[in-house]
A = this chain, B = another copy of it.
C-alpha cells in the first residue's frame, strides 16, 4: 500500500462528508500497514467545532491502539490541518503526516510554523488536485 492508496481512503471519507453536507475533509490513521482509524468532518452533524476529521481520527486511533501516543503512526488527511488539529497532532507525537490540498486560509503553516513534534515527518500534495477539487465543488454549491 502506497501513500496514494491510503490517501484514497482518506478521500473516500471526505466524499462521505460531502454527501452529508459537511465540509469535505477525511482522514485515516495507519499503523504498521493497518488502518486503525478513519473519520470525516462532522462539525455540523455533531454541532461541535472540534469535530474535525483529524481530531476524530486521533481519538479513535488512540482508543484502538490502547495508548494516547501515536508515534508509530501516519495520519493521512485530505486537507492541510488547521492549528487546532496541528496542535493535536503535536500532542499525539504522530510519526508522520501526509496531506493532500493546502489550505491557504486556515492551514497551520500560515499561523504556527512549528506546532508539530520536532520528529514528525510531513509530506504534502498527495492527491492534491482531487482533494482541492472536492473542496471547491462543495463551496461553489454553497454559494
Q: Which residues does A use to contact B, with CB under 8 Å?
A: 43-44, 47-50, 55, 58-59, 62-63, 66-69, 82-88, 90-92, 111-112, 114-115
Contacts and interface: CB of A to CB of B under 8 A. Distances in A.
Contact of A47 (B62, B85, B86, B112): B62
A77 to B, nearest CB: 15
A123 to B, nearest CB: 21
A49 B88 contact: yes
Copies in the complex: 2
Contacts of A83: 83-84, 86-87, 90, 112, 115
Contacts of A112: 83, 111-112, 115
A19 to B, nearest CB: 20
Contacts of A84: 83-88, 90-91
Contact of A91 (B49, B58, B91): B49
A37 B43 CA distance: 19
